[in-house]
Chains A and B, each alone.
Chain A
Amino acid sequence: MEKRRIIVVCKHGLFAQGLSTLLHGREGIEVVGIETDEHRAMESIRKLKPGIVVVERGEECIPIDNLLSHVVRESPGSGIVGLSLGQNEISVYYGQQRQVRRAEDLLDVILRL
């Protein structure tokens, strides 16, 4: 089975490293990067084109909107998993982008989700 290549992006270094240890060695998963800085995260996503980006969400964290648009542009098809420490929540985003050529494109995208 092909491994899911994952980049962990968290402002808090301890959380980033802790998450990495939670995922490390799990079957089907390979952590290919851990980043705590927005610029370096963008660069890693561009270079490594991971299958999944795990992102810490929160007021003091790297803005997820910036990462979402970056992932869609630089690593289309990647999944994004947002983790909210404050609420103990996991949010899932699908990083896809397509050019709108006709109104039906919107319906097509919705039905494919």
Chain B
Amino acid sequence: MQVFNAFMKVLKKNLPTVIIWVAIFLSISIIVSKSGSENSEFKSKVLNVCVFDEDNTESSRAFRDFIASKHNVYELENDDDRILDELFYETKDYVITIKKGFSENLSDGITEGLFDNRYVHESYSNVLMTNLADEYVKTVRAFLAKGDNLSTAQKNAADTLSLNVEVTKETFKEEHIYSDDYSALFSAYFQYLPYVFLQILVSALCPVLLTMNKKNIRNRTNCSSIRPSSQTFQIFLGSMIFVLGLWLLFMISGALLNEEFYRGRALLAVLNSFVFILISTGIAILIASFNPGRVGVNVLSNIISLGMCFLCGIFVPQEVLSDSVLSAARFLPAYWYIRVNNMLSGVSGEIFSSSLCMKFIGIEVLFALAIFAAALTVTKIRHDKA
């Protein structure tokens, strides 16, 4: 197994490239999974509000208490400079002045001109507090219209606006589209795998194959007593061990990151990724067969991986790509990979069908076979020419 051993030693020299790519991808995945795993909670925002009560009636005090039940109310010296400073340094979010005659006007059903407001423009606190005051006034007016007196109307309005409704957030689910087996995290993880596979295999496997197939070394090896078939087999074996190892690493990492093992639809995603890593291997072998040199490999790895990812919906969802782009993308294997991934996760709204999934994966297998055949043909032609 001399050739195999040499292959592994040469591969070892290229491992830093692999480690960098794996580290980058897994780091990003960890960040995404951590941020995604936190439950989405919505909390009402509490503002720092300063209230000046010029009316100083029972009614205005009731309004002040209502604000205090929702936000932090502060006393402040009624000085313009001081107020502006507080707003500027954002120690106070909103300053509201209950104008004289508030009680009278409110009981008369007047809703305009009851307050003076000061706030920082383009601040969401403006909207929040203004809405709250408007809502309060309108609700009081409604209760007044119902026949309540002002103090009862204010009390009822405050009670009504204090009611909390428990909201349960649920994603719209349709049984045939979504599955618990294949979470959004899994989907996102598998979405970007083609890019990483292509980058790693083209930038790490290609240089090894280039070295092993260097004309001088190949000639010297061909002069020895080792059979070419054995030589090719050992290189193939080395490549496959590397590819399988890489694939397993990503599959195990995926399961660990998502804190669950693959089952149900996720197994189809695993199969999908396996077929795609074979495609990536074929592409790496095909590139190496043209003997483009190290610089050429770097250029081609970027063109192929980025090109395929942008055209096929890995970086940009397929839903937003134009029809003409998608028509062209059909001739690239990553398109079918993403079709499967989208169907498994349900993000595209396409109804899940295992037979359709297998059909798409079958198309990927055909791509893999075609690419391997092309690589072998190019290699043979080049060897015959040499």
Q: Do A and B come from one complex?
A: no
Residues of B within 8 A of A (CB): none
